[in-house]
C-alpha cells in the first residue's frame, strides 16, 4: 500500500484488484478499487493454505489463475495498461503481463528466490528449513507444474515452476528488504531490487489505548493476521508476563475473542486488533510468529524479536533474525510460559539485541523505500519505451 500511495502521488492511475476487505485501504492510497469476482477474503483459510504447505498453495494459485485469467485479460485489454504491478503470489498478474506483452513488475511479499552455492545449500539451516515442506506435497507440486506449462503453451508464454508460482518474477521485482538482511543477496538477478521497508501509516490516526506510563517498558505479542488461531500460546504469554514490570499488549486478531481469557492482570491488555506500527514505535520487545511483514515492522522500529514460528516460511525468517543477532527463536516444542519469560528477560537485558535490531532497521531505511521503488518502476517504463 505505501508503494501504491507513492505511485498515485506521482500521477500513476492505478486500478487495484483485491478482495473486498481491502477497499478502504486501496482507496485511501489513491487507487481505484476493483474486487475479484471469484476470490474471497477467506481464500487461504477456506482452502487450508499457509506457509507450511507451499506446494499445495502453488497448486491452488495456478488453478485460480486458470479460473480468473479470461476475465482479467478482457479487463486489461480494455484498459491498455502501461504496466502490470502484481504480488509475487498472484501468478495471474504475471500471465496477464506476459500475454499482453506489457512490462511486468513483481511486488515480493516473501524473500526473493536465491541461488546459493551447493555447499551453502547443504550446510545452511536457513535453506534446509524448506525441504520438509517441499517434500510433503511433492505430487501437488508436479500437478501445479503441469497446469502452469499447459497455460503457458496455450498463450505462448513462459510458464512458472511450482516455487515461482509463490514468487512470480517480472521485468522488475521489488523486494521490501535490504541487502544486509537478505540471505545470499549477491546471488539475486539484477532484475530484483532490494528497496528496504516502509512502515504503513494507515492506522496512525486510529484511536487506541496505549499505556499512559512511559516509564514502563512495553511488550507486544502477536501471531499475525492469518495463522493465529492458537489460544494456548496466548495463555502461555499471560502466564509468562502476569505481574511483570513491563506492560503487555496482545493482539488475537479475528480468530479468538479477547473475552475468552477472562479477567486479566493489570499489566496486560488483549485486543482483537492493534495498530501494529504505532505500538511497535513504543515497544521494547516484540513476541512474533516471524511473518516477514511483522519481522520488518519490528526491526524497522529497532525492536528485538522473540520469534515463535508457526510454519517453515516463518522459521526461515526467524533463523535470519537470530543469525544477525537481533532476536531469539523458540521452536514449537520449546514454547511454554517459563521459556517465554526467560527468553524475553534475556532479550530485554542484553542491549546487543536492540543494537542489532537498530542496525537492520537502518539498513531498511537507507535502501530507499517506496521512493526508490517508484523510481525503479518509472526507469523500467522509460527503458521499455
pTM of the entire predicted model? 0.90
- Asked if residue 134 has pLDDT above 70, the reply is no
Domains and CATH numbers, the chain: 36-196+367-384 (3.40.50.2000), 218-365 (3.40.50.2000)
Q: What is the mean pLDDT of the chain?
A: 91
304-363 pLDDT tens trace? 999 999 888 899 899 999 999 999 999 988 999 999 999 999 999 999 999 999 999 999
d(CA 159, CA 191): 18
179-226 pLDDT tens trace? 999 998 998 999 999 999 999 877 666 778 777 666 789 999 999 876
Per the structure block, which three cell numbers stand in for 373? 521503488
- Asked if residue 122 has pLDDT above 80, the reply is no
Quote the pLDDT of residue 136: 74
Quote the pLDDT of residue 121: 59
Q: Which residue has the cell 486501496?
A: 26
Return the H-helix or E-strand segment holding 16: strand 15-18
Which contacts (CB < 8 Å, 24+ apart) does range 236-241 have?
Answer: 236/335, 236/336, 236/337, 236/340, 237/287, 237/337, 237/340, 238/264, 238/265, 238/268, 239/337, 240/337, 240/338, 240/340, 240/341, 240/344, 241/265, 241/267, 241/268, 241/340, 241/341, 241/344
Dihedral pair phi/psi, residue 384, rounded to 5°: -65, -40
Q: What mean pLDDT is predicted for residues 27-37? A: 94
Quote the pLDDT of residue 38: 87
153-180 pLDDT tens trace? 999 999 999 889 999 999 999 999 999 9
d(CA 380, CA 106): 12
Least confident of 52-61, 66-75, 286-295, 362-371: 52-61
Tell me the Cα Rg of the chain: 21
State whether the Cα torsion 17-171-143-134 is positive or negative: negative
Check residues 2 and 228 and name the one with the higher pLDDT: 2
Amino acid at each position: 500500500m505505501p508503494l501504491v500511495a507513492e505511485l498515485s502521488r506521482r500521477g500513476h492511475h492505478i486500478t487495484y484488484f483485491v478482495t473486498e476487505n481491502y477497499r478502504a485501504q486501496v482507496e485511501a492510497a489513491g487507487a481505484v478499487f476493483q474486487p475479484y469476482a471469484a476470490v474471497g477474503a477467506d481464500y487461504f483459510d477456506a482452502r487450508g493454505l499457509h506457509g507450511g504447505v507451499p506446494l499445495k498453495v502453488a497448486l491452488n494459485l495456478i488453478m485460480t489463475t486458470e479460473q480468473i485469467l479470461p476475465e482479467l485479460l478482457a479487463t486489461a485489454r480494455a484498459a491498455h495498461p502501461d504496466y502490470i504491478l502484481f504480488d509475487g503470489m498472484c501468478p495471474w498478474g504475471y500471465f496477464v503481463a506476459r500475454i499482453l506483452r506489457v512490462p511486468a513488475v513483481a511486488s515480493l511479499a516473501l524473500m526473493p528466490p536465491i541461488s546459493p552455492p551447493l555447499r551453502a545449500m547443504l550446510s545452511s539451516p536457513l535453506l534446509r528449513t524448506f525441504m520438509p515442506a517441499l517434500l510433503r506435497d511433492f505430487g501437488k507440486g508436479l500437478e501445479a507444474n503441469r497446469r502452469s506449462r499447459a497455460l503457458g503453451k496455450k498463450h505462448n508464454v513462459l510458464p512458472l515452476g511450482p516455487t515461482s508460482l509463490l514468487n512470480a518474477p517480472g521485468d522488475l521485482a521489488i523486494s521490501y528488504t535490504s541487502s544486509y538482511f537478505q540471505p545470499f543477496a549477491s546471488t539475486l538477478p539484477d532484475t530484483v531490487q532490494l528497496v528496504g521497508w516502509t512502515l504503513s501509516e494507515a492506522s496512525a490516526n486510529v484511536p487506541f489505548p496505549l499505556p499512559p506510563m512511559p516509564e514502563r517498558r512495553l511488550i507486544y505479542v502477536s501471531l499475525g493476521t492469518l495463522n493465529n488461531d492458537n489460544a494456548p500460546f496466548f495463555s502461555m504469554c499471560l502466564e509468562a508476563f502476569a505481574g511483570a514490570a513491563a506492560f503487555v499488549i496482545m493482539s488475537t486478531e479475528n480468530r479468538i475473542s479477547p473475552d475468552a481469557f477472562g479477567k486479566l492482570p493489570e499489566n496486560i491488555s488483549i485486543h482483537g486488533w492493534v495498530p501494529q506500527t504505532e505500538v511497535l514505535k513504543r515497544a521494547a520487545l516484540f513476541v512474533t510468529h516471524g511473518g516477514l511483514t511483522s519481522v520488518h515492522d519490528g526491526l524497522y522500529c529497532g525492536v528485538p524479536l522473540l520469534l515463535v514460528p508457526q510454519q517453515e516460511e516463518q522459521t526461515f525468517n526467524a533463523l535470519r533474525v537470530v543469525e544477525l543477532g537481533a532476536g531469539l527463536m523458540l521452536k514449537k516444542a520449546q514454547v511454554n510460559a517459563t521459556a517465554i519469560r526467560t527468553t524475553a528477560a534475556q532479550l530485554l537485558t542484553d542491549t546487543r539485541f536492540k543494537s542489532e535490531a537498530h542496525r537492520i532497521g537502518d539498513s531498511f531505511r537507507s535502501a530507499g523505500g517506496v521512493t526508490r521503488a517508484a523510481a525503479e518502476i518509472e526507469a523500467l517504463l522509460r527503458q521499455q519505451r
